[in-house]
Structures are given as C-alpha cells and as structure tokens.
Chain A
Amino acid sequence: MVGIVVVSHSSKVAEGVVDIAKQVSSTVIPIMAAGGTSDGRIGTDAMKIKDAIEAVDQGNGVLIFVDLGSAILSAETAIDLLGVDTVEIVDAPLVEGVIATSVQVTLTNDIEDVKRVAHESKNMNKI
C-alpha cells in the first residue's frame, strides 16, 4: 500500500487525524503521525517526519500531508535527507485529504491514483 504521513505543528492534531483515518479505512493501513517537536512544543521536526516515512514505506511510495509553514519546510528536509523520489508532499487539506487517501490506499497501490483522490478532496463540498 501507499504510505501516509500526517504532519502538523500539533502532535494532537496529527494523531487525531490518524485516529480518524484508521477508523474510516476498512483495513490496517500504513499511516503515521509526525506532529509537534520531540520535546512536546508546537512545531515540526524533520527527523520525526523522516522516521515516519521510513516506517510507512512499503515500496509503493509515501504521501505526506501537512498543515502549513514549517511543516512544509520540515517535510521537504526529511525527503532530502532520505534522498528518494518516491515520497512527496500532497497539496490537499489535512483532514479531508488524509481521510480520502486512507480509503483509496486500500483500493490501489498506484501512487498517482491515490494522489489524484487526495487532490480532489480540495474540492469537496461540505454542505
């Protein structure tokens, strides 16, 4: 399956989004939260993100979902440190994007297909 990493400045937000994603996907999926700093502050940690990428990588690529600001810089740094081209940051809303993706990874191992669904979540109407 395509791996999913959830990055937020808040560890609670990242973990909460992962909790929801696990609940909505019908099977066990490779997803991990990488939120906050290692000492519990609001912020992001590229090493934590790197470890999460490695943990969820099953060989079909990994998609990273971020909130904003340093989350993007840290995620890019993590990708650079790994030196791989099978990991990318998705331009999608954090909650909606992760949930849509969590379902899609159970249906296909094609990262492009999964990414398309993640992107489409941007246009999801709530009401």
Chain B
Amino acid sequence: MITSKLLLKSLNNMQIIIAENKEYLTELDAKVGDADHGINMNKGFKAVKAKLEDLADDSCDQILKTVAMTLISTVGGAAGPLYGTAFLKAAGVVKGNSIDDETLVEAFSAAIDGVQLRGKAVQGEKTMLDALIPAFDVFKEGIDNGLALEEALEKSVEAASEGVEYTKTIVASKGRASYLGERTLGHQDPGATSSYLLLKALYETVRED
C-alpha cells in the first residue's frame, strides 16, 4: 500500500533522481533527439517539488492530478503531455488517502494507456513504453502472485532497466529521433531512461519506508 505521505515522498525522490540525471538524460537526448529531455524533465519535477508542501493534506488522486497538470504546463517537450497524461490517467483510478497494491496495478496500467493514447506508439518503437510495458507486466505478475509491494517493484525496476537496454537494439520510429532512423541504433532512448529512473525512485522510496 502507498499512503499519500509515501506518495509525496516518492515524488520528492523522483525530483531528486531526475535532477541528479539531468545532464545524463540530456546527453542521451543529444544523440537521438534535441538535447533537452534532462532540462525539460528537471524543469517539470522542480515545479512539482515546489507544490509538494501544499499537497500534504490532499488525497492521492488530488496529488497525482496536480503532478499531471504541473508536468503538462512546465516540461515543454513531448515528455510533458506524455508523463502528464500518464499521471492524469493514474489519478482517475485511485481514490482517498492510500493506494492498495491492486489499485496500484490498475493505476500503472491506466498510466501506460495514457502514454499510448497520447504518443500513439506501441512497444518496440524506442520510446518510454519499452521500459514501462515490461515493468508493468512484471509488476502485475508479482502482485497477482502475492509478492510484497517492495519485491514486485524491485522486479519491475529490473524489467524497466532491461527495457532501456533493449532500446539500444532498435530503431526509433516516433518523435524527433525518427528523423535519424537507422542512426539511432546503438543509442538508448532518453524517454525510456527517465521512465526507468522514476520507477527506481518509487521503488527506493518504498524500500526505505
């Protein structure tokens, strides 16, 4: 179960991990995109962090909705509407001051649906979905089989990391990177990498709790 307090802590840690990897994400994006993913994500999560204090007494759905609207209006690149829609769809599934594990599976699923709806991408196109979909599949399987949240998240993060590695072996067909076509081979996708980092921050927050 994730309480609203733990959710806020996770978001705070997401901001930290994105800030720490700002240059790294931008370097990755310089190879396949327009070299702004780290800068944009950092802008977005800094704006999220600035709002966390005011959200202390809010429900999980209100928190997720605020995160969504903040990312949508501050990121600037495609990641804004993509992650924004993901958080917004997740907000539509949860309710109240805590998210139980089954609801978290539903929220994760809704978030991925949101990314797919917005980006019109499928797995294998060198996007954040290549980290998110395997991470979700493993997470759902873990929770369905009775794993504790921490363990299910650990496996999920591993799957996301493998998904990031997988993006090195495929060619981009969506977004700015698609202009480079075959030349994107060998490079890992910055969006998949930021998705992995966000999941890692969630896992580490749950582990430390």
Q: Tell me the A residues contacting B by CB distance below 8 Å.
A: 37-39, 41-48, 69-70, 73-74, 76-77, 80-81
Contact = CB atoms under 8 A, between A and B. Distances in A.
A43 B40 contact: yes
A77 B84 CA distance: 9
A39 B43 contact: yes
A73 B78 contact: yes
A46 B43 contact: no
B74 interface: yes
Contacts of A69: 78, 175-176
A45 B36 CA distance: 15
A11 to B, nearest CB: 12
A46 B78 contact: no
Contacts, number: 60
Contact of B81 (A38, A39, A74): A74
Interface residues of B, number: 20
A76 B43 contact: no
Given A45-B73, A46-B73, 20 more contacts: A37-B43, A37-B74, A37-B76, A38-B73, A39-B43, A41-B76, A44-B77, A45-B74, A45-B80, A46-B72, A46-B81, A47-B69, A47-B72, A47-B73, A48-B73, A70-B76, A70-B77, A70-B78, A74-B80, A81-B72
A74 B175 CA distance: 13
Nearest to B40: A43
A70 B77 CA distance: 6
Contacts of B119: 73
Contact of A73 (B69, B74, B82): B82
A44 B76 contact: yes
B92 to A, nearest CB: 12
A77 B76 contact: no
Nearest to B70: A47
Contact of A46 (B36, B40, B84, B175): B84
B59 interface: no
B197 to A, nearest CB: 20
Contacts of A39: 43, 74
B168 to A, nearest CB: 23
